[in-house]
Structure 1
Amino acid sequence: MSDIPNDQPLSDAAAGFAKEQLKSFIERIERLEEEKKSIVEDIKDVFSEAKGTGFDTTALREILRIRKQDADQRAEQEAILDLYLQALGMVG
């Protein structure tokens, strides 16, 4: 029975550490969410600026999507699209 009192403070210390660690994770995520919100607003502003100077924002978004792909993935998608367009008689 003498082991039980010795285990209790360790358990409280572990619980306290876990509580502080959890709080730290939550606060870090909240800060990152705020930063993400700010970045999303910045991106919207850049798209608005591009649109204001005459660029097509749909095309810009498509270019961004394409640039995220690796070369093989992009080539495969382009080949499939070309095949489908040919099947529909939409290209030469």
Structure 2
Amino acid sequence: MVADVAESGVAAEELKQFIERIERLEEEKAGIAGDIKDVFAELKGRGFDSKAVRQILRIRKQDHEERQEQEAILDLYMQALGMN
């Protein structure tokens, strides 16, 4: 395959297009990451706890059953340590 890319102008052009697409997406990703950072700064400036918000975001990504299982395990461990 490496030889094919080196010998074929078509394959080289296709590779270049893939790389350029990835570069554009990386730029977009950096821009979005900056936007998210700005929102967290605004959130923190308004008195909200950013660590708690990040934890809520992680929890909201989980499906209901996964979240219930994780909460049950956490509760069990906390009970075992006398933290309840």
Same fold (TM over 0.5): yes
Paired with 1:71 and 1:22, the residues of 2 have a C-alpha distance of: 42
Unaligned segments of structure 2, at least 5 residues: none
**The one of 47, 50, 75 aligned to 2:43:** 50
1:71 aligns with 2:64: yes
Which residue does 2:78 correspond to in 1? 85
Aligned residue type for 2:28: E
Deviations 1:30-68 (A, max 9, x none): 000000000000000000000000000000000000001
Which residue of 1 is the match for residue 15 of structure 2? 22
Q: Distance in 1 between matches of 2:55 and 2:29?
A: 21
CA distance in 2, matches of 1:63, 1:87: 25
Number of paired residues? 79
Q: Matched residues, percent identical? A: 70
TM-score by length of 1: 0.83
SS in 2 for 1:44: helix
**What displacement does 1:17 show?**
1.1
Gaps of 5+ in 1: 1-10
1:35 to 2:28 alignment: yes
Q: Which 4+ runs in 1 deviate beyond 4 A? A: none
CA RMSD of aligned residues (A): 1.2
With structure 2 as the length reference, what TM-score do the two structures score?
A: 0.91
1:73 offset after TM fit, Å? Answer: 0.6
Give how far 1:16 is off.
1.2
